[in-house]
Copies of this chain bind each other. A is one copy, B any other.
Amino acid sequence: MSAIDDLTTELARLPGIGRKSAQRLTYHLLKQNADQSRRLAQALVTLVETVKPCTRCFNLTEAALCSLCTDARRDASLVCVVEDAADIAAIERAGEFRGRYHVLGGRLSPLDGVGPDDLTIAALLARVPDDQIVEVIVATNPSLEGEATALYVQRQLAPLGVRVTRIARGLPVGGDLEYADGVTIAQALQARRDM
């Protein structure tokens, strides 16, 4: 039956959802009110149509500037650099950081063909004078590629005279920032060190 197979196939493309889970989800949706599937479909379409990168920090937003960039209570001179927008949500949950962000859009990964030009590093360098940034906290993941990316970002920033710090290794090496708990993230922020 093509409609069931089609939805199962699309759901199985999602990370962490195998073929059998996808089939179970499909049958679950068929047992629910059709409105639930329609709401989910509408939310998907709205998402891809309205959510874009913030023109300043590349966080995801429905406006030109994200809510963190327009929040005057946040310290514009302190910028936390992360790999992905999802990492911002994780750091915000920790409630420790009151500065702004910069989303690189990934990490340096020569094997995957991701070089400096594929990340928003040039935009970050331009922000340092524009936004009068005093300190950049590099919060890329504590993985091999995340560390290499941090080192690259630090070397690019060094000539600009800005203080560059690295989030402390309170995070388990090889782990993923997005899954870290708030307390660990808060401690890692407090114990940040100069690079």
Contact = CB atoms under 8 A, between A and B. Distances in A.
Interface stretch (A13-21, A135-143, A154-162): A13-21
Contacts of A26: 47
A1 B51 contact: yes
Contact of A15 (B13, B25, B47, B49): B25
Interface in A138-188: 178-179
Contacts of A43: 3, 6-7, 9-10
B30 A37 contact: no
Contacts of A30: 47-48, 51, 60, 85
24 contacts: A1-B60, A3-B46, A3-B47, A4-B51, A6-B47, A7-B47, A9-B43, A10-B36, A10-B43, A14-B25, A15-B24, A20-B179, A24-B86, A26-B47, A30-B51, A30-B85, A34-B49, A37-B47, A38-B44, A40-B41, A41-B41, A41-B42, A41-B44, A44-B44
Shortest 8 CB-CB contacts between residues of A and residues of B: A34-B48, A41-B41, A27-B86, A7-B43, A41-B44, A10-B40, A37-B44, A37-B48
Given A4-B51, A27-B85, A41-B44, 18 more contacts: A1-B60, A1-B66, A3-B47, A4-B47, A4-B60, A6-B47, A7-B43, A11-B40, A13-B40, A14-B25, A16-B25, A27-B89, A27-B178, A29-B47, A34-B48, A38-B45, A38-B48, A40-B41
